Structures are given as structure tokens and as C-alpha cells.
Amino acid sequence: MINISPRQLEVFVQIARLGSVRAAAEALHLTQPAASMALAEMERQLGAPVFARERGRLRLNVRGRELLPLAQELLERYAEFGRLGRGGAASLGGELRIGASNTVGNYLVGDLLGDFVRAHPQVAIRLRVANTDAIAAALLAHELDVGCVEGPVAHPALEMEPWRDDILVVCASPDHPLARRGQLRPQDFAGARWVLREPGSATRANSERVLAQLPPGETALELDQIEAIKQAVVAGLGIACLPAVAVTDALATGRLEALHTPFLDLRRKLFLLTHREKYRGALLDAFLENARA
């Protein structure tokens, strides 16, 4: 009979997250030999390794990738067992790993996390900010519990639900020729130089959707951060289609000008993203309910 302990599962999960026994031992407040022994004993009971050793780092092998979500679920169920065993009176605790695409992570993090953090101060939040493709990939690898992204993600293993509405704005520097025109028409954008996000970003996909409504232009720059795009537009290097929440300050101070484009559909939705096979314990359920509210 296999007799794997919660501590061994914790060591396994933390090594998978951090990539080394030393880092996992520090995270769990163990000595490195104790963490090594816990992993070795778990692998002995399984009869097979769960990590490949590569240049001083441990990376999950095929067996490890299969077992990781089960180990995470067992630990979550173990914590839930203890909470319910105490009559459910104990406050929620533990760790919640959240992924946010750049707009959400950089400009809407208070809306996403504020109420939840205030209601559950014992929960440790780990926030990863990356583009939508990277967040989806991390969810598929069970590196995150939930994601909040800017565009639809089509993958059968991922479940998506709307979080809130959002709007984009086409902006230019105040001295750009288009900013000096009173009434813009679609044909005025012919040959325009655009500053775009990198491929894989939902903002990039939405910008391309907007550009498809206009005459052909050219890509002046591709940048991986919204703030970099703002600075490029302020410097007159091109125009951009950006989330309104990201340019509020620049518009208010006159560094950017919002172009009046009623002929464009600039609406979009932000989504909550979860893995269909992910165990939804009280912690994840509480976060999702809070976000929906």
C-alpha cells in the first residue's frame, strides 16, 4: 500500500513550482536534506521518478506532470478536511495562484483582488502577470489556479466565463496629424503607422480586429508592454489601440489624444479562466464568487 504523506506532497508541489529542492525547502521551512528525503521516499513508493534532472534544476517528467494536479488537489482537500472538521469556523487560508493578463494585472488588480484580500487576509496571493497566451499555458500546466484575461481562449480543457466589459481607445500624440482633424473618417487611417503589442497578447488580437475595420496601414513597432507603447505614441512614433483604463492618466495630462472613432467597434470583454479538471475547493470557489460579484 502506498503511504505518501501530505508533507511529501507539499515538497513535490513546491519543487515543481520552484525548480529546486533548495528553494522548496526554504519555502516550506525545512532543511534541504529533509526535503530531499521526502522527495526520495515519495519516488520510492511510486517506483518511478517524477522529475528529470537538467543542469541543476528539476523539471517535471511525464509521470510528474500527470501527478501534479492530483497532488495539488489532495493538499487542498486535506486543508478543507481540517477546516470542516473544525466546524467550518476557521477563516480561509492557504495559497491562491492567480494569473492576469497585462491590462488586468497592471491596471485592474485592485478590482480583481481588493475585496477578496480584505475579506480573507489569511490567504497568500501569488499573482503572475503575462500575456493571455502565457496565462492560458500556465493554467494548462497546472501552474495557476485561475486566470483573468483580456480575450477569448479556445481550448477544450479551459473553462471561460465573462468577468466584466472593457473598452479600447485609439490614441495619438497631440501633434499627430490625425489628432488635429476634427471629424475623422475610416479612409483617414490609410497608411497609418501603428504601434502594436506582441503576438500572443489579447490586446494585439483586439487591435488587429480594429485594424481590420480600417484601410491598410503599417506596423511601426511591436512592444510587449502597454507602458512602452504609450511612451512610443507620446513620442510620435505611431498611433495605438489601447485599453482605456491604461491611458486615463496620459489623456488627462494631455500627453495623449483620444481619436474620435465612432465608426469602430472598440468594445471587448475580460474573462475568468479555469482548468476544467481543477479541483474547486472553498478557497477557489470563494475567489470566483467574489470576482463574479
- Condensed to tens digits (0 to 9), the pLDDT of residues 68-122 reads 989 988 988 888 787 777 766 557 778 899 999 999 999 999 999 999 999 999 8
CA distance 135 to 101: 7
pLDDT for position 159: 94
Q: Which of 1, 2, 27, 3 is nearest to 11 (CA)?
A: 27
Name the average pLDDT for the chain: 91
Q: Is residue 149 very low, low, confident or very high in pLDDT (cuts 50, 70, 90)?
A: very high
Taking 70 as the threshold, does the pLDDT of residue 15 lie above it? yes
pLDDT for position 86: 72
Topology match between the domains 94-164+270-292 and 165-267: yes
pLDDT for position 280: 85
Taking residues 131-154, what's their average pLDDT? 91
Q: Is residue 289 very low, low, confident or very high in pLDDT (cuts 50, 70, 90)?
A: very high
pLDDT for position 281: 84
pLDDT for position 88: 60
Taking 70 as the threshold, does the pLDDT of residue 173 lie above it? yes
CB of 217 closer than 8 Å to CB of 243: no
pLDDT for position 78: 85
CB of 88 closer than 8 Å to CB of 66: no
CA distance 293 to 14: 32
Taking residues 56-78, what's their average pLDDT? 89
Q: Which of 175, 169, 163, 153 is nearest to 226 (CA)?
A: 169
So what CATH class is 165-267?
alpha beta
The model's pLDDT over 214-228, given as tens digits with 9 standing for 90+, comes to 999 999 999 988 999
pLDDT for position 152: 83
pLDDT for position 201: 84
Range with top average pLDDT, 88-92, 143-147, 275-279: 143-147
pLDDT for position 87: 66
Q: Which of 148, 104, 98 is nearest to 273 (CA)?
A: 148
Number of Cβ within 10 Å of residue 215's Cβ equals: 12
CB of 113 closer than 8 Å to CB of 127: yes
C-alpha cell at 132: 493571455
CB of 7 closer than 8 Å to CB of 41: no
C-alpha cell at 258: 483620444
Taking 90 as the threshold, does the pLDDT of residue 175 lie above it? yes
Taking residues 167-180, what's their average pLDDT? 94
Was domain 6-86 assigned CATH 2.60.40.1180?
no
Taking residues 236-257, what's their average pLDDT? 95
Taking 90 as the threshold, does the pLDDT of residue 194 lie above it? yes
CA distance 233 to 204: 16
pLDDT for position 61: 93
Domain ranges within the chain, ordered by starting residue:
6-86, 94-164+270-292, 165-267
The CATH number of the structural domain formed by 94-164+270-292 is 3.40.190.10
C-alpha cell at 131: 500575456
pLDDT for position 90: 57
